[in-house]
Amino acid sequence: MKKNFTSLLLLLAASSTAFSQTTVSTAGNKYVLVEATGAALVQYETDNTYFLETIKSTYPRAIVVQNHMKPGTGYPDSMGTNESNMWATTLNVTAYPTGSIDRTINPAAGSTVIVGRANYNAAITQRLTAPAKYDVSMTYYVNKATRVITANVTGTSLDTLTGDYNFNVYVVEDSVTGTGSGYDQFNYYNTVTGHMFFGAGNPITGFKHRQVQRAMLGGAWGQFAVTNPLPATTVTKSFTYTVPAGYDINKISLIALVQKDGTLTGDRAIMNAIQSPKLRYSCPPPVIAPICVVTRDSATNKNKIVWEKTGLGYAKTYKIYRETSSPGVYTLLGTQAANIFSTYIDATSSPNTASYRYKLTVEDSCGTEVPVTDTNVKAHRTVLITSTLGTGGSVTLNWNLYEGRPFTNAILMESVSSGPFTPVATLGSTVTTYTLTPSGTGVAYRLDIVVPGGGCAPSKSTAYDVISSNVVFPYATSIKNTTVANSYKVYPNPVTDYLNIDGVTKGSVAVLYNLLGEKLSQWNVSSDTKMTIDIRSIANGMYILKISDTDGKTENISIQKQ
């Protein structure tokens, strides 16, 4: 008697099932496995194809596979396998086309395991009405990049059974075509009016051979699983297979089965079987979708999460999480479909007042994702820079280190009077404070971190090679040592749509800048005293309105759009 390896098999299954995402099951129902001969050189094989197609439409729980032979048995062609030869030799296949129904002797169909196509229906009906002795389920995935299939077959006995029971997985490819005599299908029915292959030719070139057995992963008789199982005895076995380059992986399905391992020809019954859909519906193991960078978006002054899609062909939805006020606890912030650009703006963030931690996961097409709590899902933390005023007009800047991506250099950037940001110091990756004397009036500062390795390449043309902090204004008015903005009356402020400016003179220029010093709009004053500008198209946020008159006087006025 063989030793029961149940515990070991369950342990092996636990390590691989965690990554498998598609499951099919008999769910207490009895399915029937119809194994028929397939032979390109047999004139009547086209009629066998007709019978099998009829069976599939008539009996929803009949699973059909065709065994083609290699040289040495029957009628060999280019689709034969060693397992098919073993099946045909052991079960005494002497005529073509024929087949076995659950590899059992069916009294209604004769006294042998192998029966002719005219007896298929009676044998299938007899097996479908018999009680199910085994439940079979299969959890599987296919990595289409490596073409490796992993299938875990679980069998649960539904009765007290005697003898040894083996598990198996068939790899089946549908609609196989090829060129030459090994694929061209002989066709007796080319001249038989009314037959589905009437007028198709003899032989039929480009014939689509249906449900071709490409491999039996446990051999012709399966791999041992259990001896004398009692009711509810459950065992799992794992199978792997690399799909050869010449096979169409999108037309492949899997058949999982439990079979009796007897010594007599009629004592090798298929207890139950289940077939998967085509493998295009299966998924690889869940993957980690790392954040590339989190930076501040200059247009919205909000945090932008950036990631790359490379190697994530099965992604369905990306999920963005943000840390709550409880350290290490993350809540779902938002989702983004995989067919959209791989950036996400946190509209609820306030980069000027807080530093945030973010995590990213990906939900695949089977609805699974690596938990956000997994230690391999790394967090990225944004940089918050703050300022304090020192003696003699100096400013001390402080910030937290960026987390989630190692870097070498950080560049301190300065803007003067709403002008462009320019570098003032290059700092190491461990520096968190810096004191300086401002270069002019109306200064603002931010910290830019150079992303190593060339930056990020998300799914659009913009490359992200710099991580930017918030912008800090050391002086409460945002303007240092400039004339207080009382020469002009600007209202309403905050503003929603139209902004009025009183006190202007003809020829003056009004320019609107964002907090990065980037020019957004410009208006030329065409008359004295008053002008009205339309800012309805400007996003909500803080801006600086710079007014320059013809005498060279310039004033900077803080504007809030809401």
Instruction: Tell me the average confidence (pLDDT) per consecutive run of 10 residues in the chain, 562 residues long.
Output: 32 34 88 96 93 91 96 91 94 93 83 90 92 94 82 95 96 95 95 92 95 96 95 95 93 96 88 89 68 89 86 76 95 89 91 94 80 93 92 90 92 89 94 93 90 70 81 62 55 86 87 77 85 86 82 77 78
**Backbone φ/ψ region at 124: left (φ over 0), alpha (ψ -120 to 50), beta:** alpha
Domain harbouring 335, CATH code: 2.60.40.10
Same domain, 254 and 105: yes
382 three-class SS: coil
299 within a domain of the structure (yes/no): yes
Same domain, 34 and 61: yes
Structure confidence at residue 20 (pLDDT): 40
Domain harbouring 65, CATH code: 3.40.30
Last residue of some domain: 322, 353, 381? Answer: 381
Structure confidence at residue 121 (pLDDT): 92
Same domain, 189 and 331: no
Full DSSP string of 388-431? EE-GGG-EEEEEPPPBSS--SEEEEEEEETT---EEEEEEETT-
Same domain, 405 and 360: no
Tokens representing 272 are 């139950």
Tokens representing 396 are 């001390």
Nearest Cα residue to 144 out of 360, 311, 288 = 311
Same domain, 70 and 120: yes
**CA atoms of 272 and 78, how far apart (whole Å):** 29
Tokens representing 191 are 């001249």
Burial class (CB in 10 A: 0-12, 13-18, 19+), 369: buried
CB 212 within 8 A of CB 172: yes
Structure confidence at residue 5 (pLDDT): 29
Tokens representing 469 are 């902090």
Structure confidence at residue 7 (pLDDT): 30
328 within a domain of the structure (yes/no): yes
Tokens representing 80 are 């034969």
Structure confidence at residue 437 (pLDDT): 92
Same domain, 296 and 364: yes
Same domain, 433 and 498: no
Structure confidence at residue 80 (pLDDT): 95
Full DSSP string of 433-491? EEEE--SSSSEEEEEEEEPGGG-B--SSS--B-EEE---B-SSTTS-SSS--S-SSEEE
Same domain, 325 and 179: no
Domains in the chain, number: 4
* Strand spans (E) along 127-192: 134-143, 148-157, 164-173
* Beta bridge partner(s), residue 172: 213, 253
**CA atoms of 496 and 489, how far apart (whole Å):** 17
Structure confidence at residue 262 (pLDDT): 87
Q: How many helices (H) and strands (E) does the chain have?
A: 4, 34
Same domain, 341 and 443: no
Same domain, 513 and 551: yes
Same domain, 461 and 495: no
Structure confidence at residue 435 (pLDDT): 95
CA 548 → CA 26, 80, 232, 287, distances in Å?
80, 86, 86, 56
Structure confidence at residue 115 (pLDDT): 92
pTM: 0.53
**Omega before 277 within 30 of 0, i.e. cis:** no
Structure confidence at residue 461 (pLDDT): 52
Structure confidence at residue 337 (pLDDT): 86
Same domain, 424 and 364: no
Which range of residues forms the domain containing residue 527? 489-561
155 within a domain of the structure (yes/no): no
Half-sphere exposure of 406 (CA within 13 A, CB side): 1
**CA atoms of 70 and 81, how far apart (whole Å):** 6
Nearest Cα residue to 330 out of 305, 313, 307 = 305
**CA atoms of 87 and 91, how far apart (whole Å):** 6
